[in-house]
Amino acid sequence: MASQLMPLELIDRCIGSRIQVIMKGDKEFSGILSGFDDFVNMVLEDVTEHDYDGTTTKLSKILLNGNNICMARHDVEAGCETIMD
Amino acid sequence: MSAAPQAPNGANDSRDPSGFLSEIIGAPVTVKLNSGVVYKGELQSVDGYMNIALEQTKEFVDGKLRRNYGDAFVRGNNVMYISADT
Amino acid sequence: MADAESPSESATNVNEPLDLVRLSLNETVFVKLRGDRELKGRLHAYDSHCNLVLGEVEETIYIFDDETEGADEPRTVTKNSEMLFVRGDSVVLISPQQ
């Protein structure tokens, strides 16, 4: 039986790779995950902010409040391979 | 902040939230709120709630400059992100 | 959370964000609230939740309705109160007035 992967372990495995963060509400961020804490506040680098109206904003390094994060995953649009195999 | 799975080189390097914050104290930052309002100013301090104190603050609503504040305290629950200006 | 009135803190140093609010006690502050409301008044008291007690308050409410749609400025309503309690969770921003 495969050992269980805790949610924060999954995020830990994403450190150093580009992830896509989907917020509650119509907003997404794509960036390279540098670190995070217990609240899933995230430090992201080389960030693109995708707004609901289609506008995008580039940001070099941000601290994203974990409060409004809905989901996070490897950024498939960046052509990143999956780490789970 | 405690016991999060840390990067191998441990706590408080600039890659973790608290390390990043201490790195950008005193620097010009952009703070975006959940409402979409943006504040630009010099970061005086931040606490564990993400309450923020800014100096020389400019308030932007829909991308347009609305107001200037000498000092501004922003309550952390409204904050979406803090970005280091380049 | 650190005690806002900790005597060991120097009176002028801003070590944490709430120090900015502490330094505004008995001064006029501008407060931005959720729901397009703004207050201007003298800060009598506050706590770590940002619950506030303000005196001689002028409240401005911005109203975005059909009448003002497309106009440059929204309609505003102002109200005055002698004393006002503000619950912290509706506070967005506090700024000392010069």
Say if B53 is an interface residue toward chain C (CB within 8 Å): yes
Please judge whether C16 and B71 are an interchain contact, meaning their C-beta atoms are less than 8 angstroms apart: no
Domains, chain A, in order of start with CATH, read 7-78 (2.30.30.100)
Contacts 24+ apart (CB under 8 A), C1-9: C1/B47, C1/B48, C1/B49, C1/C48, C4/C46, C4/C47, C4/C48
CA distance B40 to B22: 18
Asked if A37 reaches chain B (Cβ–Cβ under 8 Å), the answer is yes
Residue A64: per-residue pLDDT: 97
Chains C and A are touching, with contact defined as 3 or more CB–CB pairs separated by less than 8 Å: no
How confident is the model over A4-59, as pLDDT tens digits? 888 899 999 999 999 999 999 889 999 999 999 999 999 999 999 998 788 999 99
Distance from CA of C62 to the nearest CA of B (A): 14
ipTM of the assembly?
A: 0.84
A32 part of contact set with chain B, CB < 8 Å: no
- Residue C12, in any domain of the structure: no
Number of domains into which chain C is organized: 1
Chain C CA closest to residue B43: C17
The CATH code of the domain that includes C48 is: 2.30.30.100
pTM of the model: 0.85
Position C66 in a domain? yes
Structural domain contains residue C31: yes
Residues spanned by the domain of C22: 17-96
Determine, yes or no, domain membership for C69: yes
Residue C73 lies in a domain: yes
Task: Tell me how close the Cα of B48 comes to any Cα of chain C, in angstroms.
Answer: 8
Please give the CATH topology (third level) of the domain spanning B24-84.
SH3 type barrels. (2.30.30)
